Amino acid sequence: MNKTPGTSGLILDEPLLWEKGKPGRHAMSIPSSDVPAAPMDESLLGAEVDFPDLSEVDVVRHYTRLSQWNFGVDTGMYPLGSCTMKYNPKINEKHAATPAFAAAHPMLGDTHIQGVLQIMYELQHFLAEITGLDAVSLQPAAGAHGELTGMLIFHKYHTSHNSRRSKILIPDTAHGTNPASAALCGYKAIPVKSNARGMLDKNDVAALMDEDTAGIMLTNPNTLGLFEQQIREIADIVHAKGGLVYGDGANMNAVLGVVDAKKCGIDVLHLNLHKTFSTPHGGGGPGAGPVCVTKDLEQFLPVPRAVKEGDTYRLMTDQSQSIGRVHGFHGNFGVLIRAYSYILSMGAKGLNMASQLAVLNANYIRAHLKDTFHLAYETPCMHECVFSDKNQHDYKVSTLDIAKRLIDYGFHPPTIYFPLVVPGAIMIEPTETECKDDLDQFIATMKRIAHEAEHQPELLHNAPSRCKVKRLDEVTAARCPCLIGTAQADD
C-alpha cells in the first residue's frame, strides 16, 4: 500500500457527454418496430434539442469518473470548523429509506400514520431532554430557518407583552446567518465585540442591553470553539431588561449530555440535525433545524406539532398563539428519522461519549500543532481549534496556500478565513469519528506542509498540483465562471 497520503491515482481526462457521443449509439435494445414509421412532430421537443447519442457504459463510466473527482466524508477526513462534517453511520440512512417511512404520503390522516407521529413525538421529547428545554418544533428546514423561527417567537413574545423592540445583540463571532435571520425578521443587529480571550464579556452586554433590545443571539460553544463562560450572567442581564436569549445550537456536537441550555438561561435554541444528528450535509441536501423553547414560549411554537392523547398520536394545529406554519406538512421527515435512529442507536451515554471524543480530538490536534502554527487563543478548545498563518508570513505563505496544499495530500481543507476576528484563520474541527491514526496522519501532513512553507514555498503557491483541477484564479472563477466546462486547462 502507498503510505504517502494523497490523491495521485489515475486521473482521466473526461470529455463532455456531447464530445463523447457518436451518432447511433444508444443505451437500450428495443425490438424492431412492427408498425409503419410516422413522422415525428419536432415541435413537441421544444427549441434546440441536442441530446448526445451514448451507450449505457459511456454514461455509467462518465458519471462514475466525475463522482471520483469529488471529495466526501466517505473518502477522507473533512475537518471543516463550525460545520461538524462528521461521518454518519449508514444504519441511519437505512432506516430513513425504510419503504414504510420513505413512501408515507404527507396527506395521510393521523389514524393512518400513528407510527410516524410516534417517532415525531418521541423525537421532540428526546431533543427536549438533550437540550434541557421544555418543548420542540420539528418544522424548520435548516439552522438559519430555526433562527428565523426563533426571531418570530421573540417578536410574538414581545408583542404579547405589549412591547415593541427594534434591536438584537449579536456577538462578532456569530455565524453569518444570525444577523441575517434577525434582519429578515425586522430587527437591527447590534454587534458585540468579543474580548481578547475570544469570549463575550458581560460588561459589554450590560452596556448595550436596553429596553428597545429584543434580546441576544449567541452560539455556545462559540465559533472560535470556546465555551462562553459568562453565559449565565449574560442571560441574567438580558432577562433583567425584559429581553430573551437565543442559543444557536449548531455547535451542539461539543456538549451533548454536558450542558443544559435552560440552566444557562437560554430561552430558544435551534439544533442542526444535519450537523450533530446524522444527516449528511453539504451539497444543499435537505436538513432540519428543530427549535427548542422554555415552557413560557411553548404557546408560540410553529404548528403542527405531534402530541399524544391517551394511546393515540395526532398532529396538533389548534394553538392560538402560534407563529403559524414555517414548513409544509411534517418538516423534512427523512432527516427526522435519521436523528431518531441515531439517538436510539447511540443512547444517552453514547451521545455524551461522542461529544467527549469530539472535544478530545480537537484538543489533540491543538496540542500537536501549536508549536508549528500560530494558535489564535491559548485556552483549551471545545470541538474545534483555530490557528492562523502568522508563523508562515515570513515565507510569504498564506492560509489559502496551506489549505490548497492539504488537497494534494488527500485531505479536505478546514474552514479558512472564518471567524473574521482571527486574521488568516484556519479552523479545524476533526469530529469524534476520526481515529487516532487518522488524526496523526493529518497532524504529520500539517507539519510537513509547514516544513515545505519554509523550504519550498513554491510547492504551496502552486498547490494543488496533484489533482484534476489545479490552482484556480479565484477572482476569475468567481467573476467569470465557466459553466460549460470546455475551457478547463489540463496542464
Ligand X SMILES: *Cc1c(COP(=O)(O)O)cnc(C)c1O
- Residues lying near ligand X in the complex (CB under 6 A): 82-83, 142-144, 175, 177, 219, 223, 248, 250-251, 272, 287, 289
Please count the CA atoms within 13 angstroms of the CA of 300 that sit on its side-chain side.
22
Neighbours of 162 (CB within 10 A): 6
Question: Whole-number minimum distance, CB 372 to ligand X, in Å?
Answer: 26
Neighbours of 311 (CB within 10 A): 6
Question: Whole-number minimum distance, CB 176 to ligand X, in Å?
Answer: 8
- How far apart CA 145 and CA 7 sit, in angstroms, is 37
- Structure-block grid coordinates of residue 404: 490548497
Q: Among residues 116 and 269, whose Cβ is nearest to ligand X?
A: 269
Could you say which DSSP state residue 247 is in? E
Question: Whole-number minimum distance, CB 134 to ligand X, in Å?
Answer: 22
Question: Whole-number minimum distance, CB 490 to ligand X, in Å?
Answer: 34
Say if CB 342 and CB 320 are below 8 A apart: no
Q: Among residues 76 and 289, whose Cβ is nearest to ligand X?
A: 289
Q: Nearest-CB residue to ligand X?
A: 143
Question: Whole-number minimum distance, CB 310 to ligand X, in Å?
Answer: 36
Q: Among residues 433 and 445, whose Cβ is nearest to ligand X?
A: 433
Element (H, E) at 137: strand 135-137
In sign, the C-alpha dihedral spanning 206, 207, 212, 217 is: negative
Question: Whole-number minimum distance, CB 250 to ligand X, in Å?
Answer: 3
Say if CB 192 and CB 171 are below 8 A apart: yes
Q: Among residues 7 and 82, whose Cβ is nearest to ligand X?
A: 82
Q: Among residues 174 and 397, whose Cβ is nearest to ligand X?
A: 174
C-alpha separations of 262 from 100, 134, 444 in Å: 36, 9, 41
Query: What residue type is assigned to position 21 of the chain?
Result: G
Question: Whole-number minimum distance, CB 248 to ligand X, in Å?
Answer: 5
Element (H, E) at 428: strand 426-428
- Structure-block grid coordinates of residue 152: 418570530
Q: Phi and psi at residue 80, in whole multiples of 5°?
A: -70, 120
Question: Whole-number minimum distance, CB 145 to ligand X, in Å?
Answer: 7
Q: Among residues 143 and 413, whose Cβ is nearest to ligand X?
A: 143
- How far apart CA 383 and CA 421 sit, in angstroms, is 18
Q: Among residues 185 and 460, whose Cβ is nearest to ligand X?
A: 185
In sign, the C-alpha dihedral spanning 129, 132, 138, 140 is: negative
Q: Among residues 250 and 343, whose Cβ is nearest to ligand X?
A: 250
